[in-house]
Amino acid sequence: MHHAKPLPSYLVKRYHGWKATSYSENQAWYRRLATEGQRPRAMVISCCDSRVHVTSIFGADQGEFFIHRNIANLVPPYEPDGERHGTSATIEYAVTALKVAHLIVLGHSQCGGVQGCIDMCKGEAPQLEAKESFVGRWMDILKPKFDLVSDVEDPAEQARQFERQAVVASLENLMTFPFVAEAVQNGSISLHGLWTDIGEGGLEYYDPSGKKFLPV
């Protein structure tokens, strides 16, 4: 590995600032977290998108949330076939090792992954349909939900509805994991679906009784 470079100096400076202030104020707790281990209350499955910071929105500090971030906050279905399943590994670790009490799926507006899936479903993204497209193959998880929004004419509205369906799809797929279903049924875990509007700072939660998202 010959290519790694030192950290850009603006990040070095910020790090030293954090060390002298936030770290210093919290040193005792961070040391305890290190020696005793984490005990996060919730796992959050969120998008990699740089505009979505779940810790900001919820004023969370180190130790509170176990966070998996991938393209479009998707959970694939349970497939114990001996292959690599990075997202499934995070869920397995959170539920069986850490025993988190909440599984929160956080979707968001202007999601590039979801838009790519729409483009694929409309036949407008041949590059994503190529076998070699990692993003395309990943977004295949969401494809079966496209029927639910294919009639929506306004493209922005269609995208927003499909982003919410990505959250519902992930919640549904979570329930295909035996250890999740069992934990839900015995009351040791609860599932939560959220969608946030990046520009307006809105937050909605999924209400399964009405099958829709409502403002929190």
- Which residues carry a binding-site annotation for Zn(2+)? 47, 49, 108, 111
Query: Based on CB atoms, which residue is closest to its own copies, 76 or 121?
Result: 76
Determine which helix (DSSP H) or strand (DSSP E) holds 63, and give its type and residue range: none
143 is a site residue for its own copies (CB under 8 A): no
What residues numbered 101-130 form the site for its own copies, per CB under 8 A?
Answer: 101-102, 104, 109-110, 112-113
210 is a site residue for its own copies (CB under 8 A): no
C-alpha to C-alpha distance for 119 and 122, rounded to whole angstroms: 5
Strands (E), 7-101: 42-47, 65-70
Query: Based on CB atoms, which residue is closest to its own copies, 162 or 206?
Result: 206
What residues numbered 44-103 form the site for its own copies, per CB under 8 A?
Answer: 48-53, 55-71, 74, 76, 80-94, 97, 99, 101-102
The C-alpha angle 184, 186, 192, rounded to 5 degrees, equals: 25
Part in contact with its own copies (CB under 8 A); list of ranges 118-126, 142-150, 190-198:
190-198
Binding site members: 47, 49, 108, 111
25 is a site residue for its own copies (CB under 8 A): yes
> CB 144 → its own copies: shortest distance, Å?
14
Query: Based on CB atoms, which residue is closest to its own copies, 5 or 123?
Result: 5
Q: Residue 169 in contact with residue 73, Cβ under 8 Å?
A: no
CB contact burial 111-139 (16+ within 10 A = b; e otherwise): bebbbbbbbbbeeebeebeeeebebbebb
User: Measured on CA atoms in the order 193, 184, 60, 78, is the torsion positive or negative?
Assistant: negative
